[in-house]
């Protein structure tokens, strides 16, 4: 659909290309305002539909989008992970025997409590944009992760460590993504993950941490809102407007 001849924000005349690309001029300030207004309108609609007031109590955080079907995990991917872990363990020195059992490192979820539960929920709404890159990197597992796991389980032989990781594989995972990325999130406990999986935060996660106990998470692809959810201590309430339902597939 072709828009009128003037920018919907600043009202200056549009070029032919601008008229066909959303009815807003190329000025970044106009485009930023248009996107911001769309996010605010979407949040208001979500809050109204979900019976949450006021909408402003849920700061907006935007996370990136990537799609991927949930498919049965193939035996080939399982075998590849096992072979990769065997190579890592062969190159990872065994920890020296200790006279007393080492204290278990604090779990990040337990140490940080409610904030991490909020961030985990934000990741769940995103459905793992960054996890996609673990698909070609064996879940980012490395010698550091193996050494950390061995330090907690020094009694385990290499084959037992490999079995521990293979036993955590979900029956189904996202196609082309990390082998541990199941439909409902990461199937690997935090204590077994690579360090990057526990410490990396995208811009949306950083904003969520700063926002506090509640956020409106918007998954956006280019300028299109794909899906969203209101997240607070009570849980995750997904919202699908008519526009997101009709445009949720690529």
Model pLDDT, residue 246: 44
CA–CA separation, 152 and 140 (whole Å): 20
This prediction has a pTM of: 0.73
Residues 6+ apart with CB under 8 A from 190: 107, 108, 109, 197, 198
For residues 62 and 225, give the distance between their C-alpha atoms in angstroms, rounded to a whole number.
Answer: 9
pLDDT value, residue 8 = 85
| pLDDT tens string 29-75 | 888 888 888 899 999 999 999 998 899 999 999 998 877 789 999 99
Task: Find out whether 168 and 188 touch, Cβ atoms under 8 Å.
Answer: yes
Please give the structure tokens belonging to residue 133: 């890159």
State residue 73's pLDDT score.
94
Max mean pLDDT range (15-29, 114-128, 165-179): 165-179
Average pLDDT, the chain: 84
Gyration radius of the chain over CA positions: 23
| CA-closest candidate to residue 43, choices 199, 229, 248, 190 | 229
pLDDT confidence of 113, banded at 50, 70, 90? very low
Q: Are 2 and 185 in contact (CB under 8 A)?
A: no
């Amino acid at each position: 659909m072709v828009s009128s001849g003037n920018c919907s924000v600043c009202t200056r005349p549009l070029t032919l290309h601008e008229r066909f690309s959303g009815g807003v001029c190329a000025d970044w300030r106009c485009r930023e305002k248009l996107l911001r207004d769309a996010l605010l309108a979407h949040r208001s609609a979500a809050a109204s539909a979900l019976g949450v007031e006021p909408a402003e109590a849920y700061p907006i955080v935007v996370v990136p989008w990537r799609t991927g079907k949930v498919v049965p995990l193939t035996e080939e991917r399982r075998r590849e992970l096992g072979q990769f872990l065997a190579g890592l363990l062969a190159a990872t020195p065994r920890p020296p025997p200790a006279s007393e059992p080492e204290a278990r490192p604090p779990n990040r979820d337990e140490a940080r409590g409610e904030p991490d539960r909020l961030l985990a929920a934000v990741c769940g709404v995103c459905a793992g944009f960054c996890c996609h890159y673990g698909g070609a990197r064996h879940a980012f597992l490395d010698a550091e992760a193996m050494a950390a796991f061995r330090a907690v389980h020094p009694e385990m032989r290499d084959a037992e460590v490999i079995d521990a990781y293979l036993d955590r594989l979900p029956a189904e995972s996202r196609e082309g993504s990390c082998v541990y990325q199941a439909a409902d999130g990461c199937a690997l406990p935090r204590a077994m993950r690579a360090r990057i999986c526990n410490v990396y935060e995208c811009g949306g996660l950083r904003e969520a941490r700063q926002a506090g106990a509640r956020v409106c998470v918007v998954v956006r692809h280019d300028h299109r809102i794909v899906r969203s959810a209101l997240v607070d201590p009570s849980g995750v309430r997904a919202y699908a407007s008519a526009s997101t339902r009709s445009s949720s597939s690529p």
